[in-house]
Amino acid sequence: MEKYTFNELCALVDLPGRTVRYYIQKGLVSPPEGSRKGAYYTKKQLEQLLAIRKWQRDGLSLERIRELLFAGEHDPGHTPPPRGRRPGDLEVWSRLYIKEGVEIHLEPKSAGMSPEQVRELCRRVMAIANELNGGCHEE
């Protein structure tokens, strides 16, 4: 069994010690084996930290990451979908006005769209609407 000191663990996952301590404090990462100067970390903590780092880069919240880790779903090679909506969740929706009677409502985060992708969607939809109207411009 491989054993890591705290500093070795931090270096392996390329995270500051402060961040790793926070994850341990919040229960996202298992505490070390042993105690005090004899404490060490194993592959288990290494895998937990790698999964947390990857999922955060993929846009998952720490709350969602906690759910996945406690459900035993920590395959660092796979990014699970965000959890479904729950009553009380707050979402920010965008509304794109195309022309009278035509609007698009979207929630970019849930749609997995960057601001650039949202702008491109808007340009394309407006171009199609203009084309369907026989090329006439409404401004």
Q: What is the pLDDT of residues 86-121, one digit of tens each?
A: 777 767 788 888 888 888 888 887 777 788 888 899
β-bridge pairing 102-106 and 94-99: antiparallel
Query: Which pLDDT tens digit goes with each residue over 60-96?
Result: 788 888 888 877 655 555 556 566 677 777 677 888 8
Judge residue 1's burial from the number of C-beta atoms within 10 Å of its C-beta, 0-12 exposed, 13-18 middle, 19 or more buried. Answer: exposed
Domain ranges of the chain: 6-70, 94-132
Q: What is the model's pLDDT at position 108?
A: 81
Quote the tokens at residue 96: 């794109």
**Mean pLDDT score of the chain:** 82
Quote the tokens at residue 54: 């990857």
CATH code at 6-70:
1.10.1660.10
Q: Alpha-carbon torsion 23, 26, 28, 30, what sign?
A: positive
Helical (H) or strand (E) element with 106: strand 102-106
Mean pLDDT of 36-42: 88
Q: What is the model's pLDDT at position 78?
A: 58
